[in-house]
Structure 1
Amino acid sequence: MTEPDETPKGLNAVAEAAKQAPGRGLPPVHLWNPAHCGEIDIVIRRDGVWMHEGSPIGREALVRLFSTVLRLDPDGYHLVTPVEKMKIEVEDLPFRAVAVRREGEDLIFTTDVGDEVRAGADDPLVVDEDPETGEPAPRVHVRRDLWARITRAVFYELVEAAEEADGRLVVRSGGQVFPLGAVA
């Protein structure tokens, strides 16, 4: 008599893999090389809302859990477990920086999934220009090719705290200087 395959599949597999990270730690998704299993109907909208099959995922703990097994590969974003890799859609960037605080000389960003990032050489703050509107499109590096879009309110806080240098507004963090844009 054969045992049924008890390997978790789909969302259950993602949740099980994410639970391997104790506390707020992160599982080693960069070390996992599972077979690609197709796509799963999860969309991270531009406003940061995670959707599954057209409905918002309402449990913050579940979104946090999924965010810990998110990876960007050359063909797009995936939720990755030791045995499965499922492609998802991300409309802009996977995370949003929803708060910033100053600790000494450093800027600490908090994302919508609870990650904290100290801006510096390893986790830079970048301000691109939106090609459609010409408006600033600020972002901060979170981890392994994953970025957070800095919300408008947080960007305004940065601009308020900025200093002028060579005709540009800049902020400093982690021993680095990050330009925010030209002085108007």
Structure 2
Amino acid sequence: MASTADNKTGLAGVAEAAKQAPGRGLPPVHLWHPAHCGEIDIVIRRDGVWMHEGSPIVRAELVRLFSTVLRKDDDGYVLVTPGEKLSITVEDLPFRAVTVTRRGEALVFTTDVGDEAEAGPDHPIVVETDPETGEPSPSVRVRADLWARIARPVFYELVEMADVEEGRLMVRSNGEAFALGPLGAGVE
């Protein structure tokens, strides 16, 4: 793990790099391949709260900024800039889908950091069953290999929108059908 001084430099460096593209969309993190610099004490908790050195990051703008330079590599989640790559901890998925709206033929999810994902071929909805509880564990791809856990109230909205097809609850978006689960499996 990098020293505390390195972490502060790394954190400041990540924040500065993320600021380079305001209003121009997301930074091109897929093009950046710096050497791995170590770890930084940032944890994205299961409930979506971003923590730094054990304390919540309370400034939503800062969380949004860091989320724009987040990437999932083969070795885990990293914050990446043109000059640095720092590992972070993600307890579940990095984002939470906190709203869903229907726009024409599309279901559009908004995440807790302000990203939008229009469900379809590039942004599938996946519902797995939690092995411990048997409860549905829904998610939607936001970008690259970054996914959002669909919040329970949003999942209930999807269930309300669903049609029953061959004993399964299904929603459609952008010409794709997504199974929410079989009837009688906690999604009725």
Match of 2:54?
54
Partner Cα separation in structure 1 for residue 96 and residue 82 of structure 2: 27
Q: Which moved more, 1:65-74 or 1:16-25?
A: 16-25
User: 1:1-36: CA deviations, max 9, x gaps?
Assistant: xxxxxxx93111111111122226100111101111
Q: 1:41 to 1:102 in 2, by over 3 A?
A: same
Partner Cα separation in structure 2 for residue 87 and residue 96 of structure 1: 20
Match of 2:18?
18
> How do residues 66-81 of structure 1 correspond to structure 2 at under 5 angstroms?
66-81=66-81
Partner Cα separation in structure 2 for residue 71 and residue 160 of structure 1: 33
> How do residues 151-170 of structure 1 correspond to structure 2 at under 5 angstroms?
151-170=151-170
Partner Cα separation in structure 1 for residue 24 and residue 48 of structure 2: 20
Match of 2:130?
130
Give ranges in structure 1 of 5+ residues lacking alignment. 1-7
- CA displacement at 1:71 relative to structure 2: 0.5
Partner Cα separation in structure 2 for residue 159 and residue 64 of structure 1: 29
Partner Cα separation in structure 2 for residue 174 and residue 13 of structure 1: 39
Q: 1:53 to 1:159 in 2, by over 3 A?
A: same
Check if 1:116 corresponds to 2:105. Answer: no
- CA displacement at 1:45 relative to structure 2: 0.2
Partner Cα separation in structure 1 for residue 110 and residue 128 of structure 2: 20
Match of 2:147?
147
Q: Any idea what SS the aligned residue of 1:134 has?
A: coil
Match of 2:171?
171
- AA at the equivalent of 1:64: R
- CA displacement at 1:183 relative to structure 2: 1.1
- AA at the equivalent of 2:160: E
Match of 1:5?
none
RMSD of the alignment, in Å?
1.1
> How do residues 36-55 of structure 1 correspond to structure 2 at under 5 angstroms?
36-55=36-55
- CA displacement at 1:131 relative to structure 2: 1.4
